[in-house]
Amino acid sequence: MDEIITLDYGSGGKKTSRLIEDMLLPAFDNPALSQLGDGAVVDGGARLVFSTDSFVVDPIFFPGGDIGKLSVCGTVNDVSVCGGEAKYLSLSFIIEEGMKVSDLERIVASIAKTCQKAGVSVVTGDTKVVERGRGDKIYINTAGVGILRYEGLSPANIKPGDKVIVSGTVGDHGTAVMLSRSGMMEGEILSDCAPLNGLCEDILSSGEAVRVLRDPTRGGVATTLNEFVEGTKLSIALSEELVPVKDNVRAACDMLGLDPMYCANEGKLLAVVGEESAQRVLEIMQANEYGRDAAVIGTVTEDYAGKVYMNTAFGGKRILQKLTGAQLPRIC
């Protein structure tokens, strides 16, 4: 292979084949992928979960992860919070001419490692190359197909008195990427980027009263919770002192003028559960490697229809609206 990716690698001709055969097939070795047709034939199920995300994070390598790891976790998590057992990924690259082949190799290795950790397979893919200045090193799309295991998860199930649980500290990914971009405090804060399918399975297989799960990525915890109640008669009351935020994340957010409640997370889960199930679900989360710092952070109420608000440490109330504007462009 050459040292840099040229337009030839996106031609569909010999260099594209070389990339597939020398780098991609060995990394993602599995029977469906090696059929090498235009698509993969795989085992299905009666009901499926299907999700997609494109990843444009800048920089492509950041403390705690990289665009490859992120592109697997993001889609695995989206399938999992819908009640699906994530099984198959598609993987599509848009590479900027001039990208270092060694960087691509690192990303491909990271994708393969994360797939193994999450127990999913890349079964089909695509590579395009665009001219210098028409992209930014690499953009990755993954789509995920899972088999539906748990039906009926939906914000529509949320009831007054339900508890809101977050699986760990808030704002790590967004802060890690922003610091990495700014060059300040570099490497002190790690992205939380992680595959949460095991955590979702632990929670959902418990039979507890789980109303809805969601991974609060772009827009953060505040935006996701707003999506749960907007247009309804319900509100969500959070307690500021219960929201777990790492000290260095809080310090970095202060410095950068960010609010951790609006910073992207890539390895966190929000669960709304029946009051009677809150303690048990909390314990289940805390027993999982990705839920150790889980905490009940709020309650579903009926006092401010459609709103999310924070009971502050000083006894005040603060409405948390959906994110307005791009607090953090290209965070995922």
Closer CB to a copy of itself, 292 or 318, in the complex: 318
CA pseudo-torsion sign 229, 230, 235, 236: positive
Q: Residues 120, 145, 204, 295: which binds a copy of itself (CB under 8 A)?
A: 145
Q: Is 148 one of the binding residues for a copy of itself (CB under 8 A)?
A: yes
Cβ atoms within 10 Å, residue 189: 26
- Helix 278-286 and helix 197-204, axial crossing angle in degrees, nearest 10: 150
**Cβ distance 91 to 111 under 8 Å?**
yes
Please report where in the chains the tokens 């390895």 appear, as a residue. 267
Closer CB to a copy of itself, 17 or 279, in the complex: 17
The tokens of 167 are what?
Answer: 């699986």
Task: Please give the Cα distance from 124 to 92 (Å, whole number).
Answer: 8
Q: Residues 71, 169, 299, 327: which binds a copy of itself (CB under 8 A)?
A: 327
Q: Residues 64, 65, 125, 291: which binds a copy of itself (CB under 8 A)?
A: 125
> Which H or E run includes 279?
helix 278-286
Q: Residues 4, 25, 30, 35: which binds a copy of itself (CB under 8 A)?
A: 35
Distance in Å, CB of 168 to a copy of itself, minimum: 18
Q: Is 160 one of the binding residues for a copy of itself (CB under 8 A)?
A: no
Q: Is 3 one of the binding residues for a copy of itself (CB under 8 A)?
A: no
Burial grade of 13 (CB within 10 A; 0-12, 13-18, 19 or more):
exposed
The 218-257 site mask, x for binding a copy of itself (CB under 8 A), equals xx---x---x------------------------------
Candidates 74-82, 101-109, 189-197, 302-310; binding stretch for a copy of itself (CB under 8 A): 74-82
